[in-house]
Amino acid sequence: MKKTLFLVLLGLAIIASAYMAFIYYVPYSTGTRAGELIKISQKGVLFKTWEGEISQGISGAQIFSFSVLDDDKEVIEKLNDLQGQYVKLKYTERYRTFFIWGDSKHFVTEVVPEKSPHIDKR
């Protein structure tokens, strides 16, 4: 009985580990988005995650929400420095997310400041 229970628990642990590895390492899509960085904040009670938004339209009609993993310290610092400015974000979309990673399935991996297309070029 103990051996059967051990094998069942071991099998469940292997399946759970494989599922988490698949979610983490196999992206659904990758891409870039540009817009005005309107929010970057750390949220959560037990597990703090970094969440942000960029506005891709006039008057905030199109909002792109994203998360940043805690390991990406350089990205978090850049986002904090560039808040309120026009930026281009490189991101990876995952099939799903876990509460310890963030709220969104879109995870930013790189931030580049950009010139706003809304500035008058006279």
Q: How far is CA 49 from CA 92, 93, 119, in A?
A: 16, 16, 33
Return phi, psi of residue 7, to 5°.
-65, -40
Residue pair 86/116 in contact by the 8 Å Cβ criterion: yes
Predicted TM-score (pTM) of this structure: 0.80
Q: In this structure, is residue 64 part of a structural domain?
A: yes
pLDDT band at 81, cuts 50/70/90? very high
Summarize pLDDT for 14-61 with one digit per residue, the tens.
Answer: 999 999 899 888 889 999 999 999 999 999 888 899 999 999 876 667
In a domain, 21, yes or no: no
Examine residue 35 and state whether it is found in any structural domain, yes or no.
Answer: yes
Instruction: Please name the helix (run of DSSP H) or strand (run of DSSP E) that holds residue 107, with its range, or none.
Output: strand 106-113
- Domain with 53, as residue range(s), is 27-113
The model's pLDDT over 87-98, given as tens digits with 9 standing for 90+, comes to: 999 999 998 888
Which residues lie closer than 8 Å to 76 by C-beta, 6 or more apart?
Answer: 40, 50, 68, 70
58 against 67, higher pLDDT? 67
Q: What CATH number does residue 104 fall under?
A: 2.40.50.140
Q: What is the domain count for the chain?
A: 1
